[in-house]
Amino acid sequence: MEQNQANVADSVNPFETRWIKPGQMDFLPNGFISIRELANQIVKDTPRCEILGEHGVGKSSLLRALQSHLGQQSISNHLIYACGEFPHNGPPLKFATVKLLLRESDVLFIDGFEQLNWWTRRRIIRYSEKHDHALIITCHQTQRLPCLVHLVATETLVLKLVHSLQQAQQVGEVVAARDVRELHQRFGNNVRELLFACYDLYEQRTTNEQ
């Protein structure tokens, strides 16, 4: 490993919830995703669309990246959460709140859209269509909007992610690439479970070294 025992023992676990919660990490492109191109597609071609993907593949991080890019282009936008920020246990959004933000924004992002009940989801989509408002949502299952992008957890992506999390806390490669490949085979697209497994593996190895 790249660091001595004392440093490992004193370090925080880079896979703690505070580092991996939705929206906390920078978006890591899959190699074919350009933030600029996606933003242009929203503005010019697909003002109402969905971002699909399993837990932890980067949907929330992508929303934040798109929000930042549009803001730099002086395009007004809001990002809201269906049931509050992580751990998403707040009261669900009300239709009246969403309607107001749609009127005030050039683009409205809603993270965790499918956490809302069916009736609220339908009202929001129908209202945005009727009044031609731009609405971008994240979800695990399609809400029958055009798909802006379907994010998947490729092996390359999870390798980059695990490396960047450890690098950010300066702990070296405690969880090695071979570990990540094995975990990716086990968990597939569910990056959240993969990162939880990385947490346990990191704890096990650093505890044994103390």
C-alpha–C-alpha distance, residues 136 and 143, integer Å: 11
51: tokens are 């971002």
pLDDT of residue 5: 38
Structural Rg of the chain based on CA atoms: 19
Coil/strand/helix, residue 114: helix
Are residues 139 and 113 in contact, defined by beta-carbon separation less than 8 angstroms?
A: yes
Give the percent of the chain with pLDDT over 70: 89
Question: What global pTM score does this model have?
Answer: 0.81
Burial class of residue 160 (count of CB atoms within 10 Å of its CB; 0-12, 13-18, 19+): middle
pLDDT of residue 94: 93
CATH code for residues 35-150: 3.40.50.300
For the stretch 3-34, pLDDT in tens is 433 344 456 899 998 888 876 777 877 666 78
* Residue spans per domain, the chain: 5-25+153-209, 35-150
For the stretch 58-116, pLDDT in tens is 898 899 999 999 999 999 999 999 886 655 566 888 999 999 999 999 999 999 999 99
pLDDT of residue 4: 38
For the stretch 185-199, pLDDT in tens is 999 888 989 999 999
Element (H, E) at 137: strand 134-139
Rounded alpha-carbon distances, angstroms, from residue 7 to 27, 167, 209: 28, 14, 11
Q: Is the pLDDT of residue 168 over 80?
A: yes
117: tokens are 């009940």
